[in-house]
């Protein structure tokens, strides 16, 4: 039995869960999320918890059991409290600005990079160098953060670029002077 998959997913107050065929829909105060679940996983809905079980014990079902439970848990947490991801900008003259659904990044390119945020993700900028991304879909939030980070990922010599909040960049020693 999967250690993750056997744990029930608690459903907080104000969150409604419906299961129709293979489509699981979770509604909450922050919004609504739906996901098509694999046929090998069976869903049991009780008042305050969601229990996921697998039909058989083959390798594919075992691997999907824990994954599906984690995805359902992320859906429930997302519609009830939401997720936040922080990005830090390091470098002289590097800054960001958020207006509407467009994130304007000045990170050392010859032009400012205009990054359009996907639907369901909002951004705010603190002190011109900390980007705060918020959303209810954890998968989309992580993918958006990775795309923004890829605009100018941190280089190992000076540590300039965009990094995740709390990420440590492994620094390299620069060149030493040549002896003649």
* pLDDT, tens digit (0-9, with 9 covering 90-100), for 54-64: 888 888 888 89
Does residue 2 have a pLDDT over 70? no
**Angstrom distance (rounded) from CA 85 to CA 144:** 10
CA distance 123 to 103: 8
Average pLDDT over residues 18-43: 92
Share of the chain above pLDDT 90, in %: 72
Kindly give the pairing relationship between strand 16-20 and strand 113-116: unpaired
Average pLDDT, the chain: 91
Closest C-alpha among 24, 25, 17, 18 to residue 41:
24
Nearest-5° Cα angle at 169, 160 to 144: 75
Instruction: Output the pLDDT for position 128.
Output: 87
Task: Decide if 106 contacts 94 (C-beta within 8 A).
Answer: yes
CATH numbers and ranges of domains, the chain: 9-80 (3.90.930.12), 83-164 (3.90.930.12)
| Phi, then psi, of 69 in degrees rounded to 5 | -65, -40
**DSSP secondary-structure letter at 130?**
E
Q: Report CA-CA distances (Å) from 39 to 21, 32, 65, 98.
A: 9, 22, 11, 42
| pTM > 0.85 | yes
């Amino acid at each position: 039995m999967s250690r993750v998959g056997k744990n029930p997913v608690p459903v907080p107050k104000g969150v409604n869960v419906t299961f129709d065929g293979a489509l699981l829909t979770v509604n909450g105060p922050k919004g609504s999320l739906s996901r098509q679940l694999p046929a090998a996983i069976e869903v049991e809905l009780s008042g305050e918890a969601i229990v996921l079980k697998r039909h058989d014990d083959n390798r594919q079902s075992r691997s999907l059991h824990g994954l599906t439970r984690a995805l359902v848990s992320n859906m429930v947490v997302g519609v009830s409290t939401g997720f936040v991801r922080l990005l830090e900008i390091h470098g002289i003259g590097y800054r960001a600005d958020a207006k509407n659904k467009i994130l304007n990044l000045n990170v050392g390119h010859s032009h400012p990079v205009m990054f359009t945020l996907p639907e369901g993700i909002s951004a705010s900028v603190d002190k011109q160098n900390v980007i705060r991304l918020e959303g209810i879909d954890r998968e989309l939030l992580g993918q958006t953060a990775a795309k923004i980070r890829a605009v100018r990922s941190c280089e190992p010599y000076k540590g300039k670029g965009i990094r995740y909040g709390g990420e440590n960049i492994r620094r390299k020693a620069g060149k030493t002077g040549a002896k003649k």
